[in-house]
Amino acid sequence: MDKTIFPLYNNFMKKWLITSICFFIVIVCIVIQTQNTNSSQTHEITLTDVGFDTPVTFKAECSQEEFETYTEIVREVFSQNNRRFDCYHSYEGMQNIYTVNQEAYDHPVELDDTTMDCVQLALEMNRTCSKFDCTYGALMNLWHEYREQGMAANDKGEDGKLPDQSEIQEALKHGGADQIRIEGKTIHFTDPGIKLDLGGIAKGYTAQKAKEELQEAGLDNGFINAGGNVVLIGGKKNNEPWKIGIQNPDASGSLIVVEIQDDISIVTSGDYQRYYTSDGKRISHIIDIDTGYPVEIARSVTVLAEDSGKADAYSTCLFCLDYQQGKKLAKKLQIDAIWIFDKDKAPSEKPLMKTGNYYIYATDSISEQISLP
């Protein structure tokens, strides 16, 4: 090679080498950044603005971008269904349960598919157990008004009040699935005083629908916790069991822990949720439609079932039954259940375990998966 050309060639090669190295570094950085963006991590968020009077916690193992998409699904499903199933407020452009209660005696009211599906499921649950009945909205509304007033009074250090016996008896006259007429997408009442209340099933139903939409979007690992309505989505990727805490009725934190390997729903009904006190007595929000008064049997009943909407209704049913009746129904339905009793109100049967002031009972098939925290 000509000696006059070699220095030029040498400089060219140096520049080319430096440029190539810089380009390689940039490519590597882009690849690493892309990998970090798409890598799976555990993400969690608690939504406090999606209705149902409860925070909704959503957790999933996925990329950040996927989590943002999944979170919007949860937000949309809960927000929309909160409006659909609201029996106290109307919303522009929507015929919801409030609309039904106001108009369905005067004329048939057409509902969207989701609202009608939930109503149909509630009526099906009534055929399974008469203690669950969404048609006694007049009775539930009566207690709701006294509960709201009672909670406000309690906040001021004052006592809450109970409805008069005459008010309860009047409300009890207006209920029964035989007063409901459904044709296609329309619903009609034959009693002017009847009201629907989906409070015992709407949250579980909504959690189930959110799960189904998340799975359709590609999520295969996570959970939703909507104030005691827990829906598991797939199994943990490390094959460890889910550990679900069942709340202590009189304190924060878990009284017991249930280990679950299955893709299942867990719903708890308890007297420590949305209560007020009157004359030093706790007034639960769960009402027995046979007596017209709050239930005073167990402190909580937890049900494990594949469908969250059904689990929600089943937990209400079992909460309204004594232990022997509840155990018999759980066996018939082929579901697992866990009962927590105050020790002075516990059944005579030997409990699964005792802890502090509580006795814990469970169906046989779940008993070995229950432990103390």
5, 18, 23 from 12: Cα distances, Å: 11, 10, 16
Structure tokens of 111?
């509902």
pLDDT tens column, 37-68: 456 799 999 999 999 999 999 999 999 999 99
For the range 360-367, what are the long-range contacts, defined as Cβ-Cβ under 8 Å and sequence gap of 24 or more? 360/255, 360/256, 361/323, 361/327, 362/336, 362/337, 362/338, 363/327, 363/330, 363/331, 363/335, 363/336, 363/337, 363/338, 365/336, 366/258, 366/304, 366/336, 366/337, 366/338
Amino acid residing at 79: S
Angle at 133 between CA 130 and CA 139, to 5 degrees: 125
Which of 43-47, 188-192, 260-264 bottoms out in mean pLDDT, i.e. has the lowest? 260-264
How much is the average pLDDT of 13-24?
Answer: 50
Residue 357's nearest CA partner among 255, 274, 209 is 255
pLDDT band at 236 (very low <50, low <70, confident <90, very high): confident
Q: Chain-wide mean pLDDT for the chain?
A: 91
C-beta separation of 179 from 196 below 8 A: no
Terminal CA-to-CA distance of the chain, rounded, Å? 81
Rounded-to-integer distance, Cα 216 and Cα 77, Å:
14
* Beta-bridge partners for 103: none
Q: 364 Cβ partners below 8 Å, 6+ apart? A: none
Distance of CA 40 to the CA centre of its chain: 26
Confidence of residue 19 (pLDDT cuts 50, 70, 90): low
pLDDT in tens, 86-134: 999 999 999 999 999 999 999 999 999 999 999 999 999 999 999 999 9
Is 42-74+208-371 a CATH 3.10.150.10 domain? no
What integer pLDDT is reported at residue 7 of this predicted model? 46
For residue 13, is pLDDT > 70?
Answer: no
Residues of the chain within CATH 3.10.520.10 domain(s) are 42-74+208-371
Q: Given the structure tokens 């999520």, which residue do they identify?
A: 219
Instruction: Give the whole-angstrom CA distance, residue 46 versus residue 65.
Output: 17
What pLDDT was estimated at residue 87?
Answer: 97
Find residue 305's DSSP bridge partners: 265
| Residue matched to tokens 């579901």 | 335
Would you say residue 32 has pLDDT above 50? no
Return residue ranges of the chain for CATH 1.10.3980.10: 97-189
- Other C-beta atoms closer than 10 Å to the C-beta of 352 total 18
* CA pair distance 116, 303, nearest whole angstrom: 24
Domain 97-189 in this protein, CATH class: mainly alpha
Question: Cα(213)–Cα(257) distance, rounded to whole angstroms?
Answer: 28
* pLDDT in the model for residue 1: 47
